[in-house]
Amino acid sequence: MRGVRRHLARPDLPEGARRDLSDALHGLLHRAGRPSTRNIATALKGLLNPPPSHTRVHDLFTHRRLPDWELTMCVVQALADRAHALDASVECDRFNQLWLLADEELALDPLAGGRDRPPPRQEATRPTSPAYAAPETPRRVRTSSPRSFMPDPDRCRAVLFGVGDYLHLPPLPSVPAGLRDLAAALTHPTAAFAAEHSQVLVDPRDATKVLDLVQEASDEAADTLLLYFSGHGLIDSYSGELSLALPDSRTDAEYTRLQYNWIRRMLLRSGAQRKVVILDCCYSGRAMNSMGDVNALPLADIEGTVLLTSSSPDRVALAPADEPYTAFTGELIDILRHGIPDGPPVLDVDSVYDELYRRAVAKARPLPQLQARGSMGLMPLAVNARYRGAPLG
């Protein structure tokens, strides 16, 4: 790649992660001798197939939108290989982290439009070149600070409710303890939520009381809104939708249950930037399907949302009689309380789900399900109590 000194105008970006990424790209370009975009595109012939045009490379440095991740990583590798005293692998890791932070920032920006988002991804096949060292997908690299992008507790709201004492259904005596202890784990000083902004309802008999509390939290939450339910899940015999069983619910009377779709509508109307729903009940995976109006999107298809369930759409959940919590909630509490050995410094949604899934497989229990939109998989939930790296800042 022959060097041609040429100035590429930096995009006009506000202060933040996207500007940091742009500045780092221009800094790397300078370290590599400022080759032309045509020369860079030519160098990518061994990394991408088909190779990008020089116009796409030019846009990567000059356009205000977040660049395509794969193109970014390949350009970084090509420039790092050209620059002196730079390790291409280290640079790829550094830019992977910068890109993920920029993507997270964009997902949380309510004013971001189409001109800010990455261009449509072009179909490409990677060559089997030994020189290709860019990661297959964006790696979930965490920042050194455990508070990076941690939700603001004062602007978050959480509602946790569940039922253990049923009149017409089998009792679930471990639910109340799970509710209280999960709320404590989520509101610990090293976790994301505040106790004063978290409501816990045990055995609520009135659906209106639950919905009023969810509506109040939806209206107040500006950063993150979290909803958790533990109890029996039932399937509507007419629509096939998920409903949540209250103490007086009956299997032969749909009108005695709390329809999950009612809660979903409240959450979708909330002004919270991030919405997290955790369901520990039988058939909870049905919440991931579109319900009600055929034109309505399920919660999991809305940007800035996370839906974590204890089971698939057609599987029952598990509440072992000899354990203090239900199977799913017990593992979740343990992960938040005690961390993940050899895990990242911060427990985000992805790392918590991966550990939940690993444990379920190891114990032959129902497999949890996760849908996270945008960069929501990177949303921090708590500091990892078992992190063994450098001291957390």
Query: Is 0.85 surpassed by the pTM of this model?
Result: no
In contact, 44 and 76? CB cutoff 8 Å? no
CA distances from 391 to 324, 383, 387 (A): 33, 12, 9
Q: Which residues, other chains included, contact 382 with Cβ-Cβ below 8 Å and sequence gap of 6+?
A: 185, 186, 188, 190, 191, 192, 336, 346, 347
Structure tokens at 313: 């759409």
Q: Write phi, then psi, for 147 (nearest 5 degrees).
A: -100, 5
Three-class SS state of 201? strand
Give me the domains of the chain, ranges plus CATH numbers.
17-111 (no CATH), 153-383 (3.40.50.1460)
Residue of 213, 223, 221, 219 whose CA lies nearest to 159:
213
* 287: nearest Cα among 312, 257, 315: 312
pLDDT given at position 74: 87
Give per-10-residue mean pLDDT for the chain (393 aa): 60 87 91 89 77 88 87 88 79 82 71 62 40 43 44 91 94 94 89 92 94 95 94 84 91 90 86 90 70 38 75 79 92 94 86 93 90 79 74 40
pLDDT at residue 346, rounded to an integer: 85
pLDDT given for residue 254 in this prediction: 87
Q: How many CB atoms lie within 10 A of CB 285?
A: 23
CB under 8 Å to 348, separation ≥6 — which residues? 140, 142, 377, 378, 379, 380, 381
Q: Which two tokens stand for residue 390?
A: 């450098």
Closest CA to 227 of 190, 188, 177, 262: 262
Predicted local distance difference test score (pLDDT) of residue 117 = 65
Report the 10 Å Cβ neighbour count for 352.
25
